[in-house]
């Protein structure tokens, strides 16, 4: 029987679509009860029948991007080279969601690029200004309009995506499907194949999906829903600042080594906020995240 290493390209409950080194796809099921594999995982499999396989084990991961609230953990994908946070001028994005995605990526050691799409719309300057602090703290921000310049995706993003595995995350309506269609002429076919294989209706919207960007299978894009309610329970309060470059730049100058940067005397983060070196909204988001940790602690452990 054939066996080897395959990439998880889609998953739905205990059903997985895995692709072997020859590019053949198999419907895979985990050997045990648990289904812990996520899109992007390399798994050891054994073929059991015509286009079906058993997933024996998950290979060690380079990284894993996930969100976690008090009740559950949801993985977006594993083994990523880059996170692309996909935003638009309209619908306007929530800065808290953006900040949370960036913190999750920092915490997992994944590079991030922010895209602002729909620069053709009124309100462009205002939305671009909201990203100013993110540019200043070192994130690359790409502004484009897929509507007026359809080749913008190829021109501006293809070099970034080349030879890499990239996860795209963003609110609905921002143009993620337009991006996928612009980059992959056969996107519809790839989506259809996954849905048929997993028998999950016309669209598998609940989980991440892997798309090859090139014939050589060197570059991949993973589309994932779930930009809302981005819980960060897995990022401990003590490591939060390390995942926020603008706060991190000042936190070493606080009077107390264990300063929480809320209202301690001699807090360098607070004075940076007062002097405008850190934006008010970033400090508010930081305190919001600390508050979510306090809330779970007050209510006692909830983890099963």
Contact residues for ligand GDP (CB under 6 A)? 117-118, 120-121, 145-147, 172-178
Q: 164 or 242: whose CB is closer to Zn ion? A: 242
β-pairing, 111-117 with 140-143?
A: parallel
Q: 184 or 251: whose CB is closer to Zn ion? A: 251
| Helices 187-198 and 176-183: angle between axes, nearest 10 degrees | 110
Strands (E) located in the chain: 3-12, 15-20, 25-30, 42-49, 52-58, 64-68, 73-78, 82-88, 111-117, 140-143, 165-169, 209-212, 220-223
Q: 103 or 157: whose CB is closer to Zn ion? A: 103
CB 36 within 8 A of CB 59: no
Answer with the entry of Zn ion, ligand GDP, none that 177 interacts with (C-beta below 5 to 8 A by kind): ligand GDP
Residue position matching structure tokens 């953990």? 73
Stretch 237-296 residues interacting with Zn ion (CB under 5 A): 254, 259, 261, 267, 269
Report the alpha-carbon distance of residue 111 to residue 23 in Å, rounded: 27
Least separation in angstroms between residue 262's CB and Zn ion is 8
Least separation in angstroms between residue 248's CB and Zn ion is 11
Least separation in angstroms between residue 119's CB and ligand GDP is 7
Q: 121 or 295: whose CB is closer to ligand GDP? A: 121
Least separation in angstroms between residue 116's CB and ligand GDP is 10
Report the alpha-carbon distance of residue 188 to residue 192 in Å, rounded: 6
Applying CB under 5 A, the residues found at the interface with Zn ion are 254, 259, 261, 267, 269
């Amino acid at each position: 029987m054939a066996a080897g290493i395959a990439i998880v390209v889609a998953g739905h409950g205990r059903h997985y679509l895995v692709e072997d080194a020859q590019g053949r796809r198999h419907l895979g099921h985990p050997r045990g009860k648990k289904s812990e594999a996520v899109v992007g995982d390399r798994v050891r499999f054994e073929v059991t029948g015509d286009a079906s396989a058993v997933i024996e084990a998950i290979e060690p991961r380079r990284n894993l991007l996930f969100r976690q609230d008090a009740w559950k953990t949801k993985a977006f994908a594993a083994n990523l080279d880059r996170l692309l946070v996909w935003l638009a001028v309209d619908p306007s994005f929530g800065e808290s969601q953006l900040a949370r995605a960036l913190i999750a990526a920092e915490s997992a050691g994944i590079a991030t690029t922010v895209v602002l799409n729909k620069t053709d719309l009124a309100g462009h300057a205002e939305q671009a200004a909201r990203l100013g602090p993110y540019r200043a703290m070192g994130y690359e921000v790409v502004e484009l309009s897929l509507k007026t310049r359809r080749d913008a995706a190829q021109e501006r993003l293809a070099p970034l995506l080349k030879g890499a595995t990239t996860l795209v995350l963003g609110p609905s309506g921002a143009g993620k499907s337009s991006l996928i269609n612009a980059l992959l002429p056969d996107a519809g076919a790839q989506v259809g194949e996954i849905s048929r294989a997993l028998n999950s209706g016309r669209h598998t919207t609940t989980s991440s999906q892997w798309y090859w960007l090139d014939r050589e299978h060197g570059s991949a894009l993973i589309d994932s829903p779930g930009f809302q309610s981005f819980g960060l329970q897995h990022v401990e309060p003590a490591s939060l600042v390390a995942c926020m470059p603008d706060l991190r730049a000042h936190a070493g100058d606080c009077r107390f080594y264990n300063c929480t940067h809320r209202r301690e005397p001699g807090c360098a983060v607070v004075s940076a906020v007062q002097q405008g070196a850190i934006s008010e909204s970033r400090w508010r988001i930081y305190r919001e995240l600390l508050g979510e940790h306090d809330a779970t602690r007050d209510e006692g452990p909830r983890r099963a």
